[in-house]
Amino acid sequence: MVETDSSVRIARIAAADLSAYKNLRDEALRLYPDAFDADLDSERARPPESYLGRLGLSETLGGSFLMGAWVGSELVGMIGLERQSQQKLRHSAELNSMMVHPRHTGKGIGIRLVEAAIAQARQAIGLEQVVLRVSASSESAIRLYERAGFQGCGVVPHAIKLVDGPGQVRYFDKLTMVLIL
Ligand SMILES: CC(C)(COP(=O)(O)OP(=O)(O)OC[C@H]1O[C@@H](n2cnc3c(N)ncnc32)[C@H](O)[C@@H]1OP(=O)(O)O)[C@@H](O)C(=O)NCCC(=O)NCCS
């Protein structure tokens, strides 16, 4: 199916969507282990309700949420924002959990998710900047974030270490990017 802009719905993920979110998240952890800090083996057993805190329902000033992209009733993409909790850091939030299912990539869903997340972030009281970390080798993802206004500000070498088996180790450098709201 080729979806048009209007056939994709972008909205905040609600408590009722957490099972679909959990399925998509586990798929993301399986397919793109370098893109996420969490690992599938640790996360697989978590029940959907354990992600309730990520919906930001108790964050009265805003700046913490999950958003999804739906094609019909299928959740095909996701993005998250997590506002820092410590007083000196609360002007800042981390953008994470960005993934579009491979059946739906290359159609503009990713940029729509990022733009929707930025629009929500701009509604949050006192939030001044959004920070993210992306694999330095993910050129397409970096281009997407740059199109949305993020700027790269430094690479952490070997930020992610994947051990695939005995003697099979892969390292991934991470580029930090920031958007001033
Ligand atoms: C990175 C990711 C989220 C991008 O999602 P996406 O939906 O494919 O993003 P978009 O469609 O907006 O943009 C991707 C490309 O498609 C192109 N595109 C968008 N709409 C298009 C259209 N209608 N026709 C042709 N090309 C199109 C964009 O120009 C972009 O091209 P580029 O890679 O040459 O710059 C997705 O590839 C993904 O989930 N990757 C794995 C996880 C990951 O790396 N997440 C980021 C963690 S920080």
The strand pair at 92-100 and 129-135 is best described as parallel
pTM of the model: 0.95
Q: What pLDDT shows up at residue 166?
A: 85
Q: Whose CA is nearest to atom 12 of ligand 1?
A: 108
Give the number of the atom of ligand 1 that is nearest the alpha carbon of residue 95. Answer: 48
103 lines ligand 1 (CB under 6 A): no
Q: What pLDDT shows up at residue 44?
A: 92
List of the chain residues with pLDDT < 50 = 1-2
Q: Whose CA is nearest to atom 34 of ligand 1?
A: 140
140 lines ligand 1 (CB under 6 A): yes
Q: How far apart are alpha carbons 25 and 101 in whole angstroms?
A: 10
Q: What pLDDT shows up at residue 6?
A: 67
Q: Whose CA is nearest to atom 7 of ligand 1?
A: 110
